[in-house]
């Protein structure tokens, strides 16, 4: 269940980041860009790597599963008020209306307390950033956690370039390239099957053997535990 909790939090954080980032694209100096999103272990070794593509009204995030097998793609379309979650390994996706007020309410409700301390400025990966120490208490779906982190926020992107957690793990944007993004990145590819909810999208076949390539799958038994639970990103 520990992996399951992380998986759920990953989905929630990813969608929240997408909403904040998509909104910031209007105010930031760089309106369209792509970047690698890298997670580093305390020893500096890369644990995970994903991609982010941003335009003023569209956004795409590609992530690996917490188990290290399969990947997930989230596409947000503010131009038509829709978002999609895709499982490339299983060629499945589900679609849901994009309700930004719902996500804003969820994000505000999840943060029980937050304090910030200004630590000055520092240049990260070529971007001048405001450095802050942040302490938060967050409660998501009954899981309450207290976290301390240091964030480096770029005014050009209006979003964190780097976040360092108290355990030493670091998430940062690298290889940031401004410029127009291909329209194909923000569409569901041909050959994908539309399913009714998120659980169907990420519940891969049990017959898949260890080491065999496949999609982003929920940990065994987690799907049953979450049946009937209402989530902002789908039932």
Does residue 182 register a pLDDT over 70?
yes
Q: What percent of the chain has pLDDT over 70?
A: 68
Report the pLDDT averaged over residues 13-18. Answer: 53
Report the pLDDT averaged over residues 62-83. Answer: 80
**Encoding tokens for residue 208?**
């898949």
What sign has the CA pseudo-torsion 155, 158, 162, 165?
A: positive
Mean pLDDT for all residues in the chain: 76
| 194/200 Cα distance (integer angstroms) | 10
Question: Domain residues of the chain, as ranges?
Answer: 2-109+176-226
Instruction: Specify the DSSP element, H or E, that contains 9.
Output: helix 2-27
Strand, helix or coil for residue 76: strand
pLDDT of residue 164: 93
| 174/193 Cα distance (integer angstroms) | 33
Does residue 67 register a pLDDT over 80?
no
pLDDT of residue 199: 75
Report the pLDDT averaged over residues 39-49. Answer: 89
The model's confidence at residue 34, banded by pLDDT at 50, 70 and 90, is: very high
* Residue with more model confidence, 110 or 164: 164
Report the pLDDT averaged over residues 76-86. Answer: 90
pLDDT of residue 195: 92
* Residue with more model confidence, 113 or 106: 113
The model's confidence at residue 60, banded by pLDDT at 50, 70 and 90, is: very high
pLDDT of residue 117: 94
pLDDT of residue 132: 94
* Residue with more model confidence, 60 or 15: 60
Among 45-54, 67-76, 225-234, top mean pLDDT goes to: 45-54
Measured CA distances, 231 to 20, 87, 198, 206, 207 (Å): 18, 18, 9, 24, 28
Give the pTM: 0.73
The DSSP bridge partners found for residue 138 are 111, 145
| Other Cβ atoms within 10 Å of 18 Cβ, number | 22
Token pair 């038509």: residue:
80
Does residue 107 register a pLDDT over 50?
yes
Report the pLDDT averaged over residues 19-37. Answer: 68
């Amino acid at each position: 269940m520990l992996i399951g909790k992380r998986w759920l939090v990953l989905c929630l954080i990813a969608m929240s980041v997408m909403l904040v980032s998509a909104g910031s694209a209007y105010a930031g100096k760089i309106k369209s860009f792509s970047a690698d999103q890298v997670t580093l272990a305390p020893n500096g070794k890369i644990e995970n790597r994903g991609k982010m593509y941003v335009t003023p009204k569209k956004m795409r995030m590609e992530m690996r599963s917490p188990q290290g097998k399969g990947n997930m793609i989230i596409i947000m379309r503010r131009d038509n008020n829709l978002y999609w979650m895709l499982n490339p390994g299983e060629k499945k996706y589900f679609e849901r209306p994009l309700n930004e007020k719902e996500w804003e309410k969820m994000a505000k409700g999840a943060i029980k307390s937050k304090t910030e301390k200004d630590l000055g400025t520092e240049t990260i990966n070529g971007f001048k950033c405001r450095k802050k120490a942040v302490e938060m208490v967050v409660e998501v779906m009954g899981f309450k956690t207290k976290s301390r982190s240091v964030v480096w926020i770029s005014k050009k992107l209006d979003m964190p370039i780097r976040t360092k957690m108290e355990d030493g793990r670091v998430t940062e944007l690298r290889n940031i390239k401004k410029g127009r993004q291909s329209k194909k990145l923000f569409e569901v590819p041909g050959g994908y099957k539309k399913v009714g909810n998120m659980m169907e999208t990420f519940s891969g076949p049990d017959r898949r053997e260890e080491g065999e390539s496949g999609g982003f799958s929920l940990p065994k038994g987690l799907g049953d535990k979450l049946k009937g639970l209402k989530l902002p990103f789908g039932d």
